[in-house]
Amino acid sequence: MARASRHNLFIDRRIPHTPALGHRARLLAHPVQSGGRTLIVVVAASTEAVFRGRERLALILAILSPLLGALLSAGGWLLAGAALRPVRRMSREADAISLAQAGRRLPHPEGEDEIAQLGRTLNAMLDRIEAAFARERMFLDDASHELRTPIAVLRAELEVALLESGDREALERSLRSALEEAERLAHLAEDLLVLARATAGRLPLRRRPVDVRALAEQAARRGVNGTGGRSGPGVAVAVDGPATLAVVDPARLEQVITNLVGNARRFARRHVQVRVRTDGDDVVMTVADDGPGFPAALLPVVFDRFTRAEAARSHEAGAGAGLGLAIVAAIVRAHAGTISAGNGPPLGGAAVVVRLPIDETGPVPEPV
């Protein structure tokens, strides 16, 4: 009463059973001034309905919560199963895919969700793996073909030598021819070894500062005076550019220049040019000729293994096994450089551009 005389007062309590109120009620005591006195007006409202509703809700929750949890669990399980069903299909298909089933791919749903993207990514990976295996099979087939010819010629020459053992000149010719084929086999085996090491990332490089211009002159001179491949009459090789130091493997870089110059001399009409220059932190070497240039169909695959122009398919014409440019590209990439081929300037024929970092960059493969 003292508190109610000062301000409104709410009271929630049990009360004796009162008609229209029941056993629970909320009371409001409100002070009122009347005739100089403070009167307390008390009104009440039953809370029985609130408590009964609360009790019913508690009972309903106690009964339905386990059922609701079971329903939610079942729904989540079904939803997850439906979402992961494409993954199970892809898993079964992946188990069934083998090398004997080229072109077989994983089924995946349409759309842009994560599972569809996963399926597309895995199929793209299978495309790359299949392409790699196809290249390796082609490499083995081409290698077998290239090895079969000199082995057959070597065997034939040795058989002829045995049959002509009484004729010294014929025997010497057969042995010289057999020696040439043996040397060709040795070169081919060395080329295949270089490519295999380069593919495995283990091509040995012994880097040191080298004058690229001087090395180009030396390699070009050796190609002209040596056995750098057939060339047209009067084909001249010119080397120009400033002296340029670069940290490279001189033996490997000389192999690059020799192969490029030999290839250019094989198809040049009268001129082959080797130009050395610097471009920022790179040394750029361009080997060009005034021949017919690369066939358009050959340009996209010119640095692939066993790739040759149709005009250079016969060994009698001085063509090799189609490994020269592939070895050049492998050596350049091992030096963290780039290589490109095209037709046109500076001489109007084929032009191969090699770009190498002047300073050593990246990890250097250990010699093996």
Q: Give yes or no for residue 310 having a pLDDT over 90.
A: no
- At 207 the three-state DSSP class reads coil
Residue 229 is inside which H or E element, if any?
Answer: none
Rounded Cα–Cα distance for residues 268 and 347 (Å) = 10
Rounded Cα–Cα distance for residues 351 and 291 (Å) = 10
Burial 170-201 (b: 16+ CB within 10 A, else e): ebeebeebbeebeebbeebeebbebbebbeee
Does 28 or 189 have the greater pLDDT score? Answer: 28
Mean pLDDT of 263-272: 90
Mean pLDDT of 295-308: 81
At 121-141, the pLDDT tens digits run 888 888 888 877 777 777 677
**In which region does residue 303 sit, left (phi positive, over 0), alpha (psi from -120 to 50) or beta (all else)?**
alpha
Total number of residues shown for the chain: 368
Q: Give yes or no for residue 113 having a pLDDT over 80.
A: no
Rounded Cα–Cα distance for residues 358 and 368 (Å) = 24
Q: In 287-334, where does DSSP find H-type helix? A: 324-334
Q: Give yes or no for residue 15 having a pLDDT over 50.
A: yes
At 350-366, the pLDDT tens digits run 999 999 998 865 444 43
pLDDT for residue 229: 47
Q: Give yes or no for residue 318 having a pLDDT over 60.
A: no
pLDDT for residue 101: 65
pLDDT for residue 308: 62
Q: Give yes or no for residue 368 having a pLDDT over 60.
A: no
Q: What is the mean pLDDT of the chain?
A: 80
pLDDT for residue 332: 92
Burial classification of residue 262, based on how many CB atoms lie within 10 Å of its CB (0-12 exposed, 13-18 middle, 19 or more buried): buried
